[in-house]
Amino acid sequence: MTTETPDFLAMVRAHPTPLGQLLGIEVMEAAPDRVVATMRVRSDLCTFPAILHGGAVMALADTAGATATVINLPKGATTTTLESKTNFLAAAPEGQIVTAICEPVHKGKTTQVWQTKITREDGRLVALVTQSQLVMMPK
């Protein structure tokens, strides 16, 4: 008996989120225990002086965490973010590509908790984000 492993990356890339597309987020890896996404720091995503806006950082992390949750949902279930906490640690200047690496802290039946590390090209940690996702079963 052959069991095929789902191609999560192809699935995620086939259904990008509208906000993710607007921000230029590209999912590079997608698996049940790890999602990696990148985003170029463009001028329209910056604050002054030409560094990535905190809201864009949080949107990148939320996109990665939601993607990781969706990969792990039971059939028919949906999700929404319950809570998100961000520690901002360094600036990401315009022109850089930031990378979000999202890994599980807890994958339960009703909630999932994900931690996302966002780094810039030199490896410096830009932000550490922890988010809780609600798992909603169909009625």
pLDDT at 130: 98
Would you list the DSSP string of 38-52?
A: EEE--GGGEETTTEE
- Indicate the pairing of strand 26-31 with strand 34-40: antiparallel
Q: Burial of 133 by CB count in 10 Å (0-12 exposed, 13-18 middle, 19+ buried)?
A: buried
> Residue ranges of the domains in the chain?
8-136
Q: Which of 74, 57, 77, 76 shows the shortest CA–CA distance to 131?
A: 57
In this prediction the pTM is 0.94
pLDDT in tens, 42-70: 999 999 999 999 999 999 999 999 999 99
Q: Which CATH number fits domain 8-136: 3.40.50.850, 3.40.50.300, 3.40.50.620, 3.10.129.10?
A: 3.10.129.10
Q: How confident is the model at residue 1 (pLDDT cuts 50, 70, 90)?
A: low
> What percent of the chain shows pLDDT beyond 70?
97
Q: How far apart are CA 29 and CA 27, in angstroms?
A: 6
